[in-house]
Amino acid sequence: MRAITLGIFILMTGILFTDISEAVNTKVIVRAKSKDAKFIGTSMGGVLVTIRDSETGEILAKGLTIGETGDTKKIMLEPHKRGAMLSDETVAKFETTIDIDEPKLLTVEVYAPYAQGQSKIKSTTQVWLIPGKEIVGDGIIVEIPGFAVDALTPQAHETFKLKEGKVAIPIKANVVMMCGCPLEPGGIWDANKYEVKAIVKRNGEVIDTLPLSYANKTSTFEGKLDVTKEGVYELIVYSYDPDTGNTGVDKTTFKISR
């Protein structure tokens, strides 16, 4: 009798041990949201997501978000209620499953917008993942601050010649939210509220700061730089939102010769 009881005990202990130690596929969804704007989707190249074991640094999952930027009205205009989802099935996400047999602290790193190399920002967060306890719905939302700024003209290494000792250099830049949301006067992202300027350097020295104004084209800003001296010039174009602290920068260089 004692032998039978001992056998049952060993069998039950083995079953319990197996249940506890088995790795469980646990689903995780990650999304990236532009600060003061919408989700970053495929239209901006997506977001590169890397999920690591916080203790060892091992990469557990990696990939790009795929999908759209979301419902503008829901995200930007309507009050947000506790528990209500900001996303839906169309909104950009990275979805994966991670095999774990015990709670694991994850480091989630997002790098975006992936198609705009000059504007990529890296943001990270950490979260505990429990075996079998999925993180779905909106999932893990990581905020990406800033603007995506693209200096359009002058082109890199473009050369201009002085005529009668001077030349006017046209400056043009494209500025959007990190999700690609457009800037325009009076819009949800009001171009009139943002500071867009070009810092001008000649032969490595700052010589001027030039304001850029809305160019009557969505997300486009322009100005004109009057130059009278030869040299190698650098333009540092920046955008700044005094309300949110969002910033963005791009650079280009050009030459002035006789």
CATH number where 28 lies: 2.60.40
pTM of the model: 0.88
Query: pLDDT averaged over the chain?
Result: 93
Boundary (domain end) residue, out of 144, 165, 183: 144
Which region holds residue 255: left if phi is over 0, alpha if psi is between -120 and 50, else beta?
Answer: beta
Same domain, 137 and 168: no
- Among 9-23, 141-155, 224-238, where is mean pLDDT lowest? 9-23
Identify whether 13 is part of a domain. Answer: no
Whether the Cβ atoms of residue 30 and residue 49 lie closer than 8 Å to each other: yes
Same domain, 73 and 186: no
Boundary (domain end) residue, out of 88, 116, 144: 144
pLDDT of residue 22: 82
Residue 4 has pLDDT above 90, yes or no: no
Residue 9 has pLDDT above 80, yes or no: no
Write b or e for each residue in 171-183: b if 16 or more Cβ atoms lie within 10 A of its Cβ, otherwise e.
bbbbbbbbbbbeb
Quote the DSSP letter at residue 54. T
Collect all residues with Cβ–Cβ distance below 8 Å to 206 and sequence separation of at least 6.
199, 200
- 32-83 pLDDT, tens digit each: 999 999 999 999 999 999 999 999 999 999 999 999 999 999 999 999 999 9
Boundary (domain end) residue, out of 91, 112, 144: 144
Identify whether 231 is part of a domain. Answer: yes
d(CA 100, CA 24): 5
Which amino acid is residue 214, in one-letter code?
Answer: Y
Which residues form the domain of 161?
147-257
Identify whether 7 is part of a domain. Answer: no
Tell me the mean pLDDT in the region 172-185. 98
Residue found under tokens 């041990």: 17
Residue found under tokens 């949800």: 188
How many Cα atoms are found within 13 Å in the side-chain-facing hemisphere of 68?
Answer: 10
Q: Is the peptide bond before 79 cis (omega within 30 degrees of 0)?
A: no
- 13-36 pLDDT, tens digit each: 444 444 445 899 999 999 999 999
